[in-house]
Amino acid sequence: MQRQTKEFTGWHMLLIMVAFFGVIIAVNITMARFAGSSFGGLVVGNSYVASQEFNGKLQQGREQVALDWTSAFSITDGTVRYRLTDRDGKAVPVTSVSVRFHHPSYEAADWTIDLQLKGDGAFEAAHVARDGTWNVQIDSEVGRKVPYRDIRRIVIRNGEFQ
């Protein structure tokens, strides 16, 4: 039996090139859509305004450090806990605590919870935290002009703060 050979023509080359570039374009469009829908790219809304506010925020941070307060933050057994103590170990009189979880690269995953006073200056809320790496911003109303702000980067695995 004789085998028939087919000739490679310009049409074959055209089909190969269209398929090759079609795959590349499809992948690029898909990746661009994922990138555009997950992270807006903005750290601040207006960099000029943020630069003008920088020294004031730096001073607020220095004043907060000078208070010499200590914070305790935990996530265990489906409960988020926060406690703020002064340099003598006594609970700081806090009226409210709000905890915002910022995902480093996916804004749509951000979430906020308000903690409730449970006694001895501790604030809690029942909440099963999502696994991942989070930038946590804890704002406590302590009767000052600006809230006491505690910012940390944490990792949550299996609903537990690591």
Give bridge partners of residue 24 from the DSSP assignment.
none
What is the band of 109 on the pLDDT scale with cuts at 50, 70, 90? confident
- % helix, strand, coil for the chain, step of 5: 30, 35, 30
Using DSSP's 3-state secondary structure scheme, residue 79 falls into strand
Q: pLDDT (tens digit, 9 = 90+) per residue, 6-45?
A: 899 999 999 999 999 999 999 999 999 888 777 666 677 8
The residue to which tokens 């499809």 are assigned? 26
How far apart CA 29 and CA 82 sit, in angstroms, is 44
Q: Which two tokens stand for residue 3?
A: 């085998």
- All domains in the chain, ordered by first residue: 69-161 (2.60.40.10)
Whether the model pTM is above 0.85: no
Residue 3 has pLDDT above 70, yes or no: yes
Among 106, 153, 108, 109, smallest CA distance to 134 is for 153
- Mean pLDDT over each residue of the chain, to the nearest integer: 89
Q: What percent of the chain has pLDDT over 70?
A: 96
Dihedral, CA of residue 42, residue 153, residue 83 and residue 157, to nearest 10:
120
